[in-house]
Amino acid sequence: MDKDKMALFFLAVLTLVAVGFVLKVAQPVILPLVIAWLMTFIVGPAVNAMTSRKIPLPLAILFVIVLLMGIGYMGIVFLQGRVISIMAEFPRYEQRFNQLSDELSALIHLKYNPLSGFDWGSTIRDLLLRLSGSLLTILSNLILIIIFLIFLLLGKPYAQFKIGRALSSTQADRVTRIVTSISSEISRYLSIQVLISLATGFMIWLALSLIGVDFAVTWGALAFVMNFIPNIGSIIASIPPIVLALVQYYPSIWPAVITLAAVTAIQMTIGNLIAPKVFGDRLNLSPVAILISLLFWGWLWGVVGALLAVPIVSAVKIVCENIDDLRPVSIMMSPGRRYWRESNDD
């Protein structure tokens, strides 16, 4: 029996390694498919709502696809415009940043300024040029995502009927109930996550606009995207506007201080007060589960993998929550505060 368990363990490890290798090698195809699969949980309810009102399925899917393509096109145009604007204004900020760095070094009596030999201009320009050049790749991936999404949406309404024919009535009812519960919870999680990220980005943009920080809409969009990475994402999204406010208004440091206070207050309020109330304890994840997911998917698919890490691991937790044999896995992925409170109440 011990030998069987050991063989099963090593088989699971080998399977995990093989799956990771396949996901890494097949990234150009698998990544758009995963994104399309997650998007079905966001746009699926809209398609179902239209079909329930006697709108033909192809017409409902066409409406959703046209809407998504419009949003994607506006996003690419927005990104291109932001890159051009920052490249046009960067020389002025580079000069002021170098002046600020030299004055701070003299103020604290540094014999050698470690930032003096760093070529900020070429580094930032190369980064922006690579970002601008990657727009074609983003567009090609967007087209592939749309194609996958169309096929997934076309087949989704008939899944329960295929289950009914493939299984006995008792098994079909049980499987349909589990699948429906999983789909509804994943749809709810992803939809709320998108709305919370939109609210975060909007509040950041509004606050920075009132303070007068340049490129406020850019930092709001960055906050929206990075909000999908918990904790780390909010820190990364907060650094650029704070640094820019310091450079923009130097020698006055108060706009940077106000920017720091405003951004921190928004991130703390939404991340620590609003989001937990909306999601509840059931969909919370353990910090260890989040860290492992970020490391794995970030290593596997880079920045896009890091952005998808939490939605993917949340979907896995929801699946495990709704399957009895996998429920212990869901419990281990949770933060455990609810169980700690229950044990103290007992």
Write down which residue in 225, 253, 279 finishes a domain: 279
Could you tell me if 285 and 314 are in contact, meaning their C-beta atoms sit under 8 angstroms apart? yes
Question: Could you tell me if residue 5 is inside a domain?
Answer: no
pLDDT at residue 306 in the model: 77
292 and 255 within one domain? no
Question: Could you tell me if residue 6 is inside a domain?
Answer: no
Residue 128 has which token pair? 């922006």
Residue 218 has which token pair? 């850019």
Other C-beta atoms closer than 10 Å to the C-beta of 84 total 12
Question: Could you tell me if residue 14 is inside a domain?
Answer: no
pLDDT at residue 312 in the model: 81
Specify the residue for token string 């896009």: 304
pLDDT at residue 202 in the model: 92
Instruction: Give the confidence band of 279 by pLDDT, cuts at 50, 70, 90.
Output: low
pLDDT at 135 over 60: no
213 and 114 within one domain? no
Residue spans of beta strands (DSSP E) within 19-162: none
32 and 152 within one domain? yes
What average pLDDT score do residues 56-65 get?
90
Nearest-angstrom CA–CA distance, 187 and 194 = 11
Question: Could you tell me if residue 162 is inside a domain?
Answer: no
44 and 118 within one domain? yes
Look at residue 283 and give its three-state secondary structure: helix
Overall number of domains in the chain = 3
Specify the residue for token string 């939809």: 191
Between the ranges 74-78, 120-124, 141-145, 258-262, where is the mean pLDDT highest? 258-262
Nearest-angstrom CA–CA distance, 230 and 314 = 12
Domain extent for 91 = 26-156
pLDDT at residue 309 in the model: 81
Write down which residue in 236, 261, 279 finishes a domain: 279
Kindly tell me the sign of the dihedral angle through the C-alpha atoms of 190, 191, 192, 194: positive
Q: pTM of this prediction?
A: 0.75
Percent of the chain exceeding pLDDT 70 equals 79
Q: What are phi and psi of 313, to 5 degrees?
A: -70, -30
Write down which residue in 279, 297, 326 finishes a domain: 279
Instruction: Give the confidence band of 98 by pLDDT, cuts at 50, 70, 90.
Output: low
Specify the residue for token string 């949340």: 314
Q: Which residues contact 306 (CB under 8 A, 6 or more apart)?
A: 229, 294, 297, 298
Could you tell me if 99 and 113 are in contact, meaning their C-beta atoms sit under 8 angstroms apart? no
Question: Could you tell me if residue 21 is inside a domain?
Answer: no
pLDDT at 32 over 90: no
> How far, rounded to the nearest angstrom, does the alpha carbon of residue 170 sit from its chain's CA centroid?
38
